[in-house]
Amino acid sequence: MSNDINNNSNWIDALKHKTEQATRPVPQGTWEAISNKLPSEHPVAYKQQPRLRPMWWKAMAAAAAIAIAATTGFIFIQEEENLSQPSQLTKKVEKRPMIASATPADSLAADSTRATATPPKPALAPGAALAKNNTPSAPKATTTAAPKPSTTSKGSKPTNAAPATTGRDSYDNGNLAQEQQFDPDEYFYDIETMQALEELYADYDNVMNQEAMEPWKTYSDTTYQQHLAYDANARKVAREKMALSKKKKHPSVLLAAHGTGLISSDHNSTVNSSSASMMLPKPSQGMMMAPAAPGTTSNVAPPVNYKYHHHMPLTAGITFNKRITRNLYGSLGLNFTSMSSDVTPDNGAEPFKQNINLIGLPFGVKWNFWKYRGLTTFIGAEGLMEKVVWAKFNGESVTIKRLQWSIHATAGIQYNFTQHLGIYLAPKLSHYITTMPLSTLRSEHPLNFNLQLGLSLDF
Amino acid sequence: MMSEREICHGCKRGIASAQRELFDRYSPALMAVIYRYVGSDDDASDVMQDTFLKIYTTIHSFVWEGDGSLRAWITRIAVNQSLNFLRRKKRLKATTVPVEALGETTSDSDNDHLAEQVDNIDVSTIMQMVAELPDGYRTVFNLYCLDGYSHQEIAAQLGISEKTSASQLTRAKALLARKIDSYINNKA
C-alpha cells in the first residue's frame, strides 16, 4: 500500500476512525448457511503438508487393490480346489469298503430302491432278512414285471462275486445321472407300498446306524462313518426332490422327509439319518421287495448330533464415506467374509469342516458429533446385504440363494493423521436378521457385539 | 474465551468450535466492512457467507503474526469478496456525477470543521452516507480512505487507470463532504 494514505485530511481520518469501530447486525441463519456449505471437515490443516497429498491417492488405490485382489484370489483358490479334487461322491465310492457277504436280493434292493447314495449294506441287510418273512404289509413290493432295460439289468445283475460293492458302485457310477433326471411320474406307488418301503428302509437304516455306532463289528476303518454324514446330504437332495414332486403330482402318496436336514441353530445340530423318502422305482421295473424282517424295528434311527466349533469370522472390505452435510456422512462399501467351523458328529464319525464365504454390500450413515483437533467421535447405523458366494458342509457344496440381511449400530472414535486418513476404534452392535440353513456363529448369536479397529479414508 | 491465535489454529484443524468462535467474534465487523462496499444489507449477507467460506477454506495459507493479524487478513478477504461481488454485478464502472452536484473543494479550515462534524455523527449514519455514494465513488473511497489501498493498487483491482481512481476519489470525497454538511445543517 502506498503512503499516499497519509494524504487523508482530518475529517477523513476522523471518518476512518469511526468506521473502524463500526459493526452491523448479522442476519439470523447466516452461520447455519455457512456451516452447511463448508466443503470439508478438515479444510486446512493438512494442506500444509503437500508432500503427503499424493500418498492419499496411492493409499486409497492400494487399499482398493488389496481388497479386490484378496477377495478375487480367495474365491479363485477355493474354486480351483473344487475343480482339482474329484467329486466327493467319487471319493466315497472309491473308499467304500468291501462287504463281507450279501445276497442277490440285497443287491437288488440296494440297487433298485436306493435312489440316493447310501452306504453299502452290511451283512445283516434288510432285504435278505425281510425276504424270509412274507408279511402282508407290502403285497405289491414282491412283484417283478417287465422293467425298463436299465432297471432290469441293474435289478438282475448277479452280485455274489462282489455283492454289495458291485451293486452300489454300479449304481453310484452309472445311475446318478438318472437320479438327477428323476421323474416323479415314474415312481408312483400306492400308499401301502410306500409304507412298506418306508419300513424297509427304516429297518435298513436302523441296522446301518447300529453298526455305525459299533464300527468294529463290521469295518476296521472309519470310512463307513463318513458315509453316514455323506448320506445325510444325499438324502436331503432326495427329500427335496420328493417334496417337489409331492407338490406337483402326488401329494397323497409320496412320502415326506423324516429328517430335518442340516438346519439347526443349536450348537449341537441334529440330522435324522433315517429318512425313508427316497426315489422309488415301480415294482414293474424289476424291484424285488420284501416285508419287514423279524426282530428288527421300524422305528427311525437315532439322530446324529453335530457339535460345532465356530472360528472367528474374517472380514476384509473397503468402505467409502461421502459427506452429506457438515457432520453427516453416507457410506457404501464392499466386503468379503469367511466363516469356518469344525463339525464333529457324535456318532463317532470323523470331524469335518464347514466353510461359508459371503460378499457383502454395507451401506449406512455416520454422524460426527464431537471434534477436537484431529479427534472425532461418531455414531453410525449400517445395513448389510450379503450373498453367499459358496458354502461347503463336509465337502459338499450347499447352495444358499437367500440374501443375508443384518443391521449394525456403532459408536466410535477416530483420529485423523491427515485430512483424509484416520484410524478408528468402534464398538459395534450387530443383529443378523436372516438365518442361514447352516449353523454359524451368526445363527447361534444373531445379536452380537464386536470391536472394530481400522483405517478410514474420508473424502 | 479463545485467543486469536487459538482461533486461528482451531480453524486450521477444522475444529467446529473454533470456526464458530471466529464467526461470532468477527462477523459483525465484517458485516460493516462488506456493507460499506456493497451498499445494502441483503447483498452484504450474501457476500458475508462467501467471505467466511473463503476464510475457512483458505486459512491454511494464513500465517499468524501476532494479535490483529488474523483480523487484518479476514478483513482483506471481505474486501476482495465484496469487490468480486461488485465485479460480478458489473457495478464497478467509473461513476460520473455532474460537477455542480459535487460542490466546492474543501479547504483546510473546512477540513477541520468537517472533522468536528464527523465526530458528532453516529457511526450508522456515517455508514449509510458512505453506502449511498455511487458504486464507483464508494469503492474507491473505501479502498483508499478507509482500507489503505493506493491508487496503483486500486487501479489494478478495478481495472481502471490511476488517474481515474484519483478522480473518482476526489469526487467521492466532495460528495461525502457535502452529504455530511447537509446532514449537520438539517440537524441544526
Cβ-defined contact of A1 to B127 (cutoff 8 Å): no
A285 lies in the same domain as A415: no
Contacts A15 to B, Cβ<8 Å: 118, 126, 145-146, 176
Q: What is residue A25's three-state secondary structure?
A: coil
CB–CB of B126 and A1 under 8 A?
no
The closest alpha carbon to B73, from B83, B88, B84, B58, belongs to B58
Residues A379, A452, single domain; the answer is yes
pLDDT grade for B49, boundaries at 50, 70 and 90: very high
* Chain B residues within an 8 Å CB radius of A36: none
Contact call for B35 and A24, based on CB within 8 A = yes
How far apart (Å, rounded) are the C-alpha atoms in residues A346 and A260?
16
Q: What percent of chain B has pLDDT over 70?
A: 89
Is there a contact between B15 and A18 if contact means CB atoms under 8 Å apart?
no
pLDDT, tens only, B118-147: 888 888 888 889 988 888 889 999 999 988
Residue of A nearest to B48 (CA): A30
Q: Are residues A167 and A68 in the same domain?
A: no
Q: Do A26 and B48 touch (CB under 8 A)?
A: yes
Of A302, A327, A349, which residue constitutes the final position of a domain?
A302
CB of A410 within 8 A of CB of A427? yes
Residue A397's SS3 state is strand
Question: Would you say the CATH fold of B99-187 matches that of B4-88?
Answer: no
Q: Under an 8 A CB cutoff, do B148 and A23 touch?
A: no
The reply to whether A293 and A319 lie within a common domain is no
Rounded CA gap, B22 and B113, in Å? 39
Question: Domain residues of chain B, as ranges?
Answer: 4-88, 99-187
Q: Under a CB-based contact definition with an 8 Å cutoff, are residues A283 and A244 in contact?
A: no
Residues of chain A where predicted confidence (pLDDT) is lower than 70:
1-8, 39-194, 197, 200, 203-303, 458-459
d(CA A328, CA A365): 7
C-alpha cell at B55: 476464510
Cβ atoms of A46 and B14 closer than 8 Å: no
Query: In the prediction, which pLDDT does A231 show?
Result: 60
**ipTM strictly over 0.90?**
no
Round to whole Å and give the CA distance between A301 and A276: 11
Grid cell, residue A430, equals 450387530
Interface of A with B in 322-381 (CB under 8 A): 326-327, 371-374
Q: Is residue A187 part of a domain?
A: yes
A32 vs B: CB within 8 A = no
Q: Which range is least confidently modeled, A66-75, A214-223, B76-85, B108-117?
A: A214-223
Q: Cα torsion for A123, A126, A130, A131, to the nearest 10°?
A: -60
Q: Do A193 and A228 have their domain in common? A: yes
Instruction: List, for residues A323-380, the tens digit of each pLDDT value.
Output: 787 778 888 999 999 999 999 888 888 888 999 999 999 999 988 888 877 788 999 9
Residue A23 has its nearest CB partner, among B28, B48, B56, at: B28
| CATH code of domain B99-187 | 1.10.10.10
Domain annotation covers residue A49: no
Task: State residue A272's pLDDT score.
Answer: 35
* A383, A368: one domain: yes
Among partner residues A18, A45, A47, which is closest to B126 by beta-carbon distance? A18
Q: Is the CB of B23 less than 8 angstroms away from the CB of A34?
A: yes
Residue A57, pLDDT score: 58
pTM of the model: 0.38
pLDDT at A75: 52
CB contacts < 8 A, A to B, total 152
- CB-based contact A1 B115, cutoff 8 Å: no
Of residues A453, A424, A447, A442, the one with CA closest to residue A366:
A424
Cell of A327: 457432520
Residues A285 and A169 occupy one common structural domain: yes
- Let me know: does A334 contact A432? Beta carbons within 8 Å: no
Determine the Cα–Cα distance for residues B27 and B24; give it in Å rounded to an integer.
6
State whether A259 and A348 are in the same domain: no
User: Distance (Å, rounded) from C-alpha B183 to C-alpha A56?
Assistant: 62
Does the CB of B184 have a partner CB in chain A at under 8 Å? no
Return the residue matching grid coordinates 455323506. A230
Of the candidate CATH numbers 1.10.600.10, 3.40.50.2000, 1.20.58.100, 1.10.1740.10, the domain formed by B4-88 belongs to 1.10.1740.10
Residues A242 and A123 in one domain: yes
What pLDDT is stored for residue B29 in this prediction? 93
Alpha carbon distance A329, A365 (integer Å): 6
Is the residue at A393 inside a domain? yes
Q: In the listed set A302, A337, A371, which residue is the last one of a domain according to the structure?
A: A302
CB contact under 8 A, A23 and B146: no
Do A334 and A435 belong together in one domain? Answer: yes
Would you call A420 exposed, middle or buried from its count of C-beta atoms within 10 A (0-12, 13-18, 19+)? buried
User: What contacts 24+ positions apart, CB below 8 Å, involve A65-70?
Assistant: A67/A316, A67/A317, A67/A318, A67/A334, A67/A336, A70/A316, A70/A336
Q: How far apart are CA A43 and CA A85, in angstroms?
A: 56
The residue range of the domain holding A185 is 96-302
Q: Supply the Cα-derived Rg of chain B in whole angstroms.
A: 18
Quick check: B57 and A373 CB within 8 A? Answer: no
Which CATH number characterizes residue A433's domain? 2.40.160
Quote the radius of gyration of chain A (alpha carbons, Å): 35
Which B positions 55-74 lie with beta carbon below 8 A of chain A?
Answer: 56-60
Tell me the backbone φ, ψ of residue A374, rounded to 5 degrees: -90, 0
pLDDT of residue B65: 85
Mutate to test the interface with B, among A6, A9, A16, A370 (most CBs of B within 10 A): A9
Measured distance CA(B80)–CA(A325) in Å, rounded: 27
Beta-carbon contacts of B163 under 8 Å, excluding residues fewer than 6 positions away, are none
Whether A200 and A317 map to the same domain: the answer is no
The total number of structural domains that make up chain A:
2
The CA distance from A291 to A134, in Å, is 6
pLDDT of residue A385: 93
For residues B122 and B161, the answer to whether their CB atoms sit within 8 Å is no
Residue B142 grid coordinates: 473505501
A23-51 as b/e, with b when 16 or more CB fall inside 10 Å?
bbebbeebbeebbeebebbbbbbbbeeee
**A70 and A129, same domain (yes or no):** no
Q: Is residue A438 part of a domain?
A: yes
- Predicted local confidence at residue A89, as pLDDT: 38
Q: CA B177 to CA A2: how far, in whole Å?
A: 24
What b-and-e string marks burial along B33-61, b requiring 16 or more CB atoms within 10 Å of the CB? bbbbbbbebebbbbbbbbbbbbbbbebbe
Residues of chain B neighbouring A35 (CB-CB closer than 8 A): 16, 19-20
Q: Which of A60, A2, A144, A176 has its CA nearest to residue A459?
A: A60
**Distance between CA A363 and CA A382 in Å, rounded?**
6
Mutate which of A21, A34, A52, A373 to disrupt the B interface (most B C-beta within 10 Å)?
A34
Cβ–Cβ below 8 Å for A44 and B57: yes
